């Protein structure tokens, strides 16, 4: 048996080697050798390439699986973001609903408050029929209201049907009543049509004057403000103040003041200041005064301006929205000095407007 196997192996060897020998013999130039070498090399590549290709395929599969895992994570993240957005949207919608509900409640409360305030205003007018009230509103005192009567603040208690006229102060000495008056008067001033007012000067500090030419304090104020403006003009070659004058004759006290007002209004603008000074200082007789249609028409407009602000006394002065009744020199000095610092910006110049230097000599 062993001999037979050996013999068979020799036969197989002969079958393999004989064709190669014949090939070498047939093609001694080496072409067949190259072909055989190529076939052998190809076999080696096939033998080695299969494991390499398998490894590459496995690596590609791993990459694909990793990409799929990342895609799943991204999808999960997107879903979580969408869920969070939906939750946020729901929260925002709830907050919007709450805000709308609060707004509705506030509107209802405001409407109720207005209705109550309207009822109390009617109660005030019905209780005090002879008095005209304006600017009815809640007062800084709990359960009290305040209203305006002739530029003054009156306080009203609906529960007791009482009113009182006086000043309300804080513990720091601040007058809440004055603040209220200034607020109301500022509204009125903002709506005044001053296109027909007499304009004297071109300074940066603007003031509105309601004056009566037969008023002693109006005469003193005119001399005082002229002294200040002229001193500034001599130093700086320009005006400090712009005066917008509304002639307001108080007929009950000064029955001839309207004639003087018409005389001033009949003049040309460049003569307003001279005419005002002459009438204030009584340097003209009535026979020397002019009377013209233009002057009478302008006086009617001046009276309407005074009425719109509720002016009942002269002089009444408005500086930077603040209304000052009467020739209160100390207060005027403070206001003008403050405006001087604010608008002129020269401390040394404004500092010269001291009380001692702004006193007016007694009119003879």
Among 66-80, 119-133, 177-191, the range with the most confident prediction by mean pLDDT is: 177-191
The predicted structure's pLDDT at residue 282: 87
* Beta carbons within 10 angstroms of residue 184's beta carbon: 20
**Mean pLDDT, to the nearest integer, of 322-339?**
90
Residue 12: pLDDT over 90: no
Q: Which residues contact 222 (CB under 8 A, 6 or more apart)?
A: 211, 276, 277, 280
Q: Which of these ranges, 96-100, 102-106, 207-211, 319-323, has the smallest mean pLDDT? A: 102-106
pLDDT at 9 over 70: no
Identify the band that residue 294 occupies on the pLDDT scale cut at 50, 70 and 90: very high
Band (pLDDT 50/70/90 cuts) for residue 119 is confident
Task: Give the pLDDT of residue 8.
Answer: 56
153 burial (CB, 10 Å; 0-12 / 13-18 / 19+) is buried
pLDDT higher than threshold 80 for residue 326: yes
pLDDT digits over 131-150, tens only?
888 899 999 999 899 999 88
Distance, in Å, from the CA atom of 238 to the CA atom of 242, rounded to the nearest integer, reads 11
Answer with the residue of higher pLDDT: 181 or 344.
181
Whether the predicted pLDDT of 344 surpasses 90: no
Q: Under a CB-based contact definition with an 8 Å cutoff, are residues 242 and 206 in contact?
A: yes
Range with lowest mean pLDDT among 52-56, 119-123, 156-160, 264-268: 52-56
Average pLDDT over residues 13-42: 54
302, 248 Cβ separation under 8 angstroms: yes
Contact in structure between 137 and 145 (CB atoms under 8 Å): yes
SS (HEC) of 189-225: HHCCCCCCCEEECCCCEEEEEEECCCCHHHHHHHHHH
pLDDT given for residue 276 in this prediction: 93
Q: How confident is the model at residue 275 (pLDDT cuts 50, 70, 90)?
A: very high
Confidence band (pLDDT; 50, 70, 90) for 200?
Answer: very high
Pairing of strands 241-247, 205-211: parallel
List pLDDT tens digits, range 48-74. Answer: 556 656 766 777 778 788 788 888 888
pLDDT tens string 208-246? 999 999 999 999 999 999 999 999 999 999 999 999 999
pLDDT of residue 89: 85
Q: What is the pLDDT of residue 41?
A: 55
Q: What is the pLDDT of residue 104?
A: 78
pLDDT at 46 over 80: no
pTM (2 decimals)? Answer: 0.61
Cα separation values, 143 from 58, 125, 155, 179, 295, Å:
88, 18, 11, 19, 50
Phi, psi of 328, deg, nearest 5:
-90, 90
The residues spanned by each domain of the chain are: 54-126, 134-187, 192-351
Pairing of strands 205-211, 322-325: unpaired
Average pLDDT (111-125) is 81
Q: What length is written for the chain?
A: 364
> Where does the pLDDT of residue 278 fall: very low under 50, low under 70, confident under 90, or very high at 90 and above?
very high
Give the rounded percent of residues in the chain with a pLDDT score beyond 70. 79
Element (H, E) at 67: helix 31-127
In the chain, what percentage of residues exceed pLDDT 90? 39
Q: Which helix (H) or strand (E) holds 84?
A: helix 31-127
**Higher pLDDT, residue 361 or 338:** 338
Fold (CATH) for 192-351: Glutaredoxin (3.40.30)
Q: Average pLDDT in the 244-258 region?
A: 94
Residue 233: per-residue pLDDT: 92
Q: DSSP characters for 147-183?
A: EEETTEEEEEETTTTEEEES--B-TTS-BHHHHHHHH
For 26-38, what is the mean pLDDT? 54
Per-residue pLDDT at 44 exceeds 80:
no
Question: Please, what is the average pLDDT of the chain?
Answer: 82
């Amino acid at each position: 048996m062993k001999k037979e196997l050996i013999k068979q192996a020799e036969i197989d060897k002969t079958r393999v080697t004989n064709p190669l020998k014949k090939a070498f013999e047939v093609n001694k130039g080496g072409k067949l050798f190259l072909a055989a070498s190529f076939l052998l090399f190809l076999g080696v590549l096939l033998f080695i390439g299969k494991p390499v290709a398998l490894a590459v395929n496995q690596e590609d599969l791993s990459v694909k699986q990793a990409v799929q895992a990342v895609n799943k994570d991204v999808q999960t993240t997107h879903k979580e973001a969408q869920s969070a957005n939906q939750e946020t949207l729901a929260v925002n919608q709830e907050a919007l609903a709450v805000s709308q509900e609060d707004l509705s409640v506030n509107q209802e409360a405001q409407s109720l408050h207005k209705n109550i305030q309207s009822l109390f205003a009617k109660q005030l007018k019905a209780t005090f029929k002879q008095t005209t009230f304006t600017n009815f509103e809640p007062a800084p005192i709990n359960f009290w209201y305040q209203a305006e009567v002739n530029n003054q603040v009156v306080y009203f208690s609906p529960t007791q049907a009482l009113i009182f006229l006086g000043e309300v102060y804080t513990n720091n000495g601040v007058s809440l009543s004055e603040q209220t008056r200034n607020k109301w008067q500022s509204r009125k001033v903002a709506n005044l049509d001053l296109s027909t007012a007499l304009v004297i000067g071109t300074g940066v500090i603007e003031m509105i004057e309601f004056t009566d030419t037969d008023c002693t304090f109006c005469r003193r104020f005119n001399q005082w403000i002229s002294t200040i403006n002229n001193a500034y003009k001599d130093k700086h070659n320009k005006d400090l103040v712009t005066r917008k004058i509304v002639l307001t004759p108080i007929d009950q006290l000064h029955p001839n003041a309207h004639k003087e007002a018409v005389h001033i209004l009949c003049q040309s603008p460049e003569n307003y200041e001279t005419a005002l000074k002459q009438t204030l200082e009584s340097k003209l007789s009535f026979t020397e005064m002019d009377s013209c249609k233009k002057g009478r028409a302008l006086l009617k407009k001046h009276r309407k301006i005074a009425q719109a602000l509720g002016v009942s006394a002269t002089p009444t002065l408005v500086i930077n929205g603040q209304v000052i009744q009467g020739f209160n020199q100390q207060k005027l000095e403070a206001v003008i000095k403050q405006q001087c610092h604010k608008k002129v910006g020269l401390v040394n110049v404004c500092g010269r407007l001291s009380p001692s230097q702004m006193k007016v000599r007694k009119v003879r």
